[in-house]
């Protein structure tokens, strides 16, 4: 159970010097925290606490200062260098999805709350992973791909709720995850993000057992070498997987190669890490890559050159206080929309492609 309203209000007053004037503010802060310690740790990462900390330590020589709130860098405002890449810069919505970033504005909408309910997730949890699941469902549903009898292919599904929800909507799903002999499978399994069987995917609160096992199949699949027999699907998706494929080029190639699994008119929806801090420097490790604006623009250009349709690229990063908050290691569950990885600020981006 969440901490009480009284405890949440007390914490806001005592820990960050903020007087709550609205029950919705208290409700926002108490969700997802079962102990006072969890609440305290979360409050100490708020913008209000950061201001108090900076004030208290301003006279201490050489004291490390916390990172400033995120602000929009100029490179996000520039149009893509490729004339064929569709582009806009405005507050994104979940009612009309395009290729867009995760923002708190989207998570405050009725559409987000409704889809969270259908996914069995907490609508007040400000977590980018929740946004990714909501975004993928919204994008596919708006394009008519979640009808009974439709066939969907999930990459790197781990323990996510989407296969169960899609099956409950009548779709037939092939869920995949990395083969057990790939080096990174063990690490993902330890963090409960990898599965090697169908039984681990079933979420009984989201779909009856009979419907799930009738409509969902599981098989291993290397995203760097998609099996040739995975073809003729109405849609495919992945939620923050392609940044783990070994290089930026591998991730971009996966997006392009995933279109081969679809029928003409099929839709691919992929989410991944987006570097909000630099369009030149980034991380390109064997197990993690942060995609830059130039990388996303390049793959959209390549997809269009391949003959596919890509939804406009919208890099609006959000303008609410939660959008300015940068979660620092060790990461907290809430809010967790923007985070720092090796001195880079990152968030989630989604890309929607329709195969011609």
Express each pLDDT in 184-213 by its tens digit.
Answer: 444 444 444 445 678 889 999 999 999 999
**Cβ pair 175, 216 in contact under 8 A:** yes
**Cβ pair 324, 47 in contact under 8 A:** yes
For the chain, domains (ranges, CATH) are 5-57 (no CATH), 76-354 (3.40.50.150)
Q: What is the pLDDT of residue 329?
A: 87
pLDDT band at 334 (very low <50, low <70, confident <90, very high): confident
* CA gap 52, 157 in Å, rounded: 41
What is the average pLDDT across 268-274? 98
Q: Let me know how long the chain is.
A: 356
* CA gap 177, 162 in Å, rounded: 14
**Cβ pair 176, 153 in contact under 8 A:** yes
**Cβ pair 100, 86 in contact under 8 A:** no
- Tens digits of residue pLDDT in 285-321: 999 999 999 999 999 999 999 999 999 999 999 999 9
pLDDT band at 48 (very low <50, low <70, confident <90, very high): very low
Q: What is the pLDDT of residue 56?
A: 43
- Tens digits of residue pLDDT in 79-106: 999 999 999 999 999 999 999 999 999 9
Q: What is the pLDDT of residue 168?
A: 98
Helix 293-305 × helix 248-258 angle, to 10° = 30
Global confidence as pTM: 0.80
């Amino acid at each position: 159970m969440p901490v009480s309203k009284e405890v949440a209000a007390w914490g806001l007053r005592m820990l960050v010097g903020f007087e709550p004037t609205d029950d919705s503010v208290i409700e926002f802060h108490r969700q997802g925290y079962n102990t006072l310690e969890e609440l305290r740790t979360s409050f100490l990462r708020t913008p209000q606490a950061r201001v108090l900390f900076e004030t208290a330590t301003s006279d201490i020589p050489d004291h490390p200062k916390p990172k400033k709130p995120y602000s929009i860098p100029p490179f996000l405002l520039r149009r893509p260098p490729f004339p064929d890449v569709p582009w806009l810069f405005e507050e994104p919505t979940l009612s009309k999805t395009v290729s867009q970033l995760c923002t708190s504005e989207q998570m405050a909408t009725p559409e987000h709350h409704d889809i969270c309910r259908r996914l069995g997730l907490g609508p007040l949890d400000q977590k980018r992973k929740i946004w990714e699941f909501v975004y993928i469902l919204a994008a596919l549903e708006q394009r008519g791909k979640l009808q009974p009898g439709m066939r969907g292919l999930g990459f790197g599904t781990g323990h996510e709720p989407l296969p169960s929800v899609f099956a409950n909507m009548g779709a037939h799903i092939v869920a995949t995850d990395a083969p057990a002999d790939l080096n990174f499978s063990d690490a993902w399994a330890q963090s409960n993000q990898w599965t090697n069987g169908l039984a681990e995917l079933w979420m009984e609160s989201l779909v009856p057992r009979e419907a799930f096992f009738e409509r969902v199949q599981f098989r291993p699949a290397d995203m760097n070498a998609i099996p040739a027999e995975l073809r003729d699907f109405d849609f495919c998706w992945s939620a923050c997987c392609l940044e783990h494929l070994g290089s930026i080029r591998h991730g971009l190639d996966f997006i392009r190669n995933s279109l081969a699994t679809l029928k003409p008119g099929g839709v691919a929806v992929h989410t991944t890490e987006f570097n909000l801090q630099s369009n030149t420097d980034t991380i390109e490790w064997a197990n993690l890559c942060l995609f830059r604006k130039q990388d996303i623009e390049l793959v959209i250009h390549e997809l269009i050159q391949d003959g596919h349709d890509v939804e406009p690229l919208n890099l609006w990063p959000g303008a609410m206080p939660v959008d300015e908050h940068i979660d620092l290691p060790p990461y907290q569950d809430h809010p967790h929309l923007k985070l720092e990885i090796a001195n880079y600020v990152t968030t989630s981006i989604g890309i929607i492609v329709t195969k011609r």
